[in-house]
Amino acid sequence: MILIGLGANLPSRFGNPVATCEAAFSALAALGVSVLARSPWYETAPVPMSDQPWFVNGVAAVATDLDPPDLLATLHRVEADFGRARTVANAARPLDLDLLAYGDLLREEPPPIVPHPRLHERAFVLLPLRDIDPHWRHPKSGLTIDALIAATPPGQLIRRALP
């Protein structure tokens, strides 16, 4: 299963962060990335904590013929098309797309690293991922999704977004 994370905490030309993330699904489909399953949206405090707006986050299982480098390039192209300018780390953004896992592939270099090197530390990835696949195991550690959630660093504020 190929997994991508979606997030936004600034509006875009598509509207608020939820509308932006929804529009990203169409943009990805047009570039050969089909969404097979998707989580509900979550509202999450910025990590690390800051005074910027909360994020909307979710996870999608996708299918594509793109290899990991080409998929990451496609994700970055969609981000740019949606108005993301990469400036400083952890800046507020209208769209953030992350390649989280590419099946059971373990890849350290060249980029992208898969699974994502901080996937196991982020409640805003793990909780939505559990909604898609409650039996998922981390390809590198072998830990279950529930074990990963139990081990997340404290202080990550997250709640299911209202429909």
Amino acid 86: pLDDT: 78
pLDDT in tens, 12-68: 999 999 999 999 999 999 999 999 999 999 999 987 778 899 999 999 999 999 999
74 pLDDT higher than 90: yes
Amino acid 110: pLDDT: 84
Average pLDDT over residues 73-79: 96
- Residue 23, C-beta contacts closer than 8 angstroms, at least 6 positions apart: 12, 14, 15, 82
C-alpha 20/C-alpha 18 separation (Å) is 5
Please give the share of the chain, as a percent, with pLDDT higher than 90: 86
Average pLDDT over residues 137-161: 95
160 pLDDT higher than 90: yes
Please give the biggest Cα pair distance in the chain. Answer: 40
Q: Is 47 left (phi over 0), alpha (psi -120 to 50) or beta?
A: beta
Domain residues for the domain of 83 are: 2-160
C-alpha 157/C-alpha 45 separation (Å) is 5
Q: Which of 91, 13, 102, 93 is nearest to 56 (CA)?
A: 93
Which CATH number goes with the domain that contains 132? Answer: 3.30.70.560
Tell me if 61 sits within 8 A of 35, measured CB to CB.
yes
Amino acid 92: pLDDT: 85
Q: Which of 93, 89, 6 is nearest to 48 (CA)?
A: 89
- Bridge partners for 144 per DSSP: 137
Average pLDDT, rounded, for the chain: 94
Tell me if 120 sits within 8 A of 143, measured CB to CB.
yes
Tell me if 114 sits within 8 A of 105, measured CB to CB.
yes
Amino acid 57: pLDDT: 97
Backbone angles phi, psi at 123, to 5 degrees: -60, -35
Query: How many domains in the chain?
Result: 1
pLDDT in tens, 90-108: 778 999 999 999 999 999 9
Amino acid 61: pLDDT: 98
Q: Residue 64 corresponds to which amino acid?
A: T
Q: Which of 1, 31, 32 is nearest to 104 (CA)?
A: 1
